[in-house]
Amino acid sequence: MTDDDLMALMRSGDDDAFDVLFDRHYASVYGLACALLQDHDGARDVLQETFLSVLRNARRYHASGTFRPWLLRICRNRCLTLLETTRNRRRLLDTARTELSAPMYPSAARQVDTGDALRVVQAELHRLPERQREAIVLHAIEGLRYREVAEVLGVPLNTVKTLIRRARLTLAQAVRGGTSP
């Protein structure tokens, strides 16, 4: 049976079809995850997540003889997400270490500057057009990627990029003391 045949059986509720697909492809998925992550534990996690995604998205798969590339694209995306999350955690840890090594009580001038800038940004954030505010909050505060913001807002990716760019420009200009564009 082809992978497409097995996916059709799986969609109709045949659990054995999933087992055959797993047995047929787990080595490729695990191998790719190991190569990208260089971490066996992470690769095992990605292996599980990839096949869970196959189960969840079986109805979306269109039989065209491209199951393996589809499966490996899912694996690659999971790996990239994991790598990005790891990089973000490292960056946060580095920032925390830097902040901990800084003087416990910053100078009064720095406190005033930081507090003033924060108040300006908060005030200006509320004045942004609704779509810009939503996009910048989802991206900068909630940590969503542009593509995820696009999904949440139901707009094209390029629209999200434009919204966030305009919001950033407006906020930066407000902090510098200029007027909003």
Reported as a single tens digit per residue, the pLDDT across 25-83 is 999 999 999 999 888 999 999 999 999 999 998 888 877 878 888 899 999 999 999 98
Q: Mean per-residue pLDDT for 90-115?
A: 60
Amino acid letter, 122: Q
Among 29, 113, 38, CA closest to 69: 29
Instruction: Please name the fold of domain 3-89.
Output: Rna Polymerase Sigma Factor; Chain: A (1.10.1740)
How do the domains of the chain map onto residue ranges?
A: 3-89, 107-176
Q: Are 15 and 26 in contact (CB under 8 A)?
A: no
Does this chain's domain 3-89 share its CATH topology with 107-176? no
Tell me which CATH code domain 107-176 carries: 1.10.10.10
Exposure string over 102-137, b if 16+ CB within 10 A, otherwise e: eeeeeeeeeeeeeeeeeeeeeebbeebeebbbbbbe
Distances (CA, A) of 77 to 7, 73, 87, 97: 21, 6, 15, 30
pLDDT band at 103 (very low <50, low <70, confident <90, very high): low
Q: What percent of the chain has pLDDT over 90?
A: 36
pLDDT higher than threshold 70 for residue 155: yes
Q: Mean per-residue pLDDT for 71-100?
A: 82
